[in-house]
Structure 1
Amino acid sequence: MLTKPQTTAPGTQRAGTGGVTLWLTGLPSAGKSTVARAAAKVLAERGHRVEVLDGDEIRAVLGTSGFDRAARDANVRRIGWLAELLARNGVTVLVASIAPYRETREQVRGSHEHAGIPFVEVHVAASVECCVARDVKGLYARQARGEISGVTGIDDPYEPPLAPELRLLTDREHVSRSVETVIRYLTARELV
């Protein structure tokens, strides 16, 4: 006699067996992508299914345009949907996206919670001064020269999380310490 494989009820996951979304939010050049990629490498080496969703890469691939509030919110919701889809299928997803508005991040969290998928908000906290000094993509320099506007944290708002699960002080600690904090958090809560 054939038996059906055991499945988990919709909206629930056993600890450590399902996926999870870690949403790394912060200013441009705060270190979101750096931490996400380094943590993903550690997790992959430990045998976990892992994916990094970089906000800039997603925007380029999907061809989303515009940096007004509506366009930014739409992009965050798209990334959130994709992260939820991957996590629902057992992938640990590390999202590196500015996601400047609390309300939109909370919508993504709510969607995950409704689906029974763990959502971990990680504030990659670096001062504006530090981010300007790093200026990985040259955004701050271009804004200072008047070539562009709407740079998050300078002439466009960034609403930092009020109560993130993790806050990484990337302007004061080495990336390895930030990664260690992420891995320790996931392990302690049996999310990986």
Structure 2
Amino acid sequence: MTAKNITWHQGISYEERISLRGQKGYTLWFTGLSGSGKSTIACALEELLLKKKYSVYRLDGDNIRFGLNKDLGFSEDDRNENIRRISEVSKLFADSCAISITSFISPYLKERNNARLLHEEVGLPFIEIFVDAPLHIVEERDPKGLYKKARAGEIKEFTGISAPYEKPVNPEIHIKSDENTIEESVDIIYKYLLDKKLL
């Protein structure tokens, strides 16, 4: 049911927050197959930015699916709702002038584009980071044993095996995690942010 009788109350603007906080807010949206390395790279980037005294927070399956989205499963509808909620939360973090890092498979182009539009409509930067690794590589890594279970039919609708992953068409940053180390990957992102004057 859609809420009625609600009114937006405009407070401090994004530009005023930038001036007061001394940093820009935006979302770094990591996408890629399970096992591609996106969460590992996101964690390392978060640590680097925190050490440099930036306000940054990482959203991932652990702090979202065990709390805000614990009522959602893994059907296509639930995955889409999961990403919709994450998009809204990351936008709020970005609007507060924090750097919001999201690390989710987010397999569908439409849902990632919706996340981008949600930010761009209010003037917030959105940077899509495609952490790319071939299926055979992520299956070899399989840190949680999920691909093995999916191949055995124990996990239904598993991205890359029994459910689709739609690769980004034109991401701001494309990292090939089978070719770049974690440190090199973080450096690529950090240099991009510097080049775009986001740090």
TM-score norm. by structure 2 comes to 0.87
What residue is the counterpart of 2:35 in the other structure? 29
AA at the equivalent of 1:156: A
Equivalent pair of 2:35/2:139 in contact (CA under 8 Å): yes
TM-aligned CA distance change 1:174 to 1:69, over 3 Å:
same
In 1, are the aligned partners of 2:60 and 2:104 still within 8 Å (CA)? yes
Write the distance in 2 (CA, Å) between the matches of 1:90 and 1:130.
Answer: 37
Unaligned runs of 5+ in 1: 1-5
* AA at the equivalent of 2:89: L
> Structure 2: which 5+ residue stretches go unaligned?
1-11
- Quote how far apart the aligned CAs of 1:7 are: 5.5
| Structure 1 stretch displaced more, 63-72 or 167-176 | 63-72
Name the CA shift for 1:151/1:7 in 2 (closer, same or farther; >3 Å).
Answer: closer
Equivalent of residue 150 in structure 1, options 150, 157, 170: 157
2:104 maps to what in 1? Answer: 97
- 2:173 paired with 1:189: no
Distance 2:71 2:164 in 1: 20
> Which amino acid in structure 2 is aligned with residue 47 of structure 1?
K
Partner Cα separation in structure 1 for residue 79 and residue 191 of structure 2: 31
Task: Give the equivalent residue in structure 1 for 2:146.
Answer: 139
1:75 partner letter: N
Counterparts in 2 of 1:8 and 1:59: CA distance versus 1, 3 Å: closer
Runs of 4 or more, structure 1, over 3 Å off, are: 6-10
Deviations 1:2-48 (A, max 9, x none): xxxx96559x967x732010000000010111010000111111110
Determine which of 71, 76, 81 is the counterpart of 2:88: 81
Q: Percent identity?
A: 37
Q: When the two structures are superposed, what TM-score results if normalisation uses the length of structure 1?
A: 0.90
SS of alignment partner, residue 22 of structure 1: strand
Structural mapping, 1:34-183, within 5 Å: 34-62=40-68, 63-183=70-190
Letter in 1 for 2:51: E
Check the 8 A contact 1:55/1:95 in 2, yes or no.
no
Aligned residues: 185
Shift of 1:58: 0.8
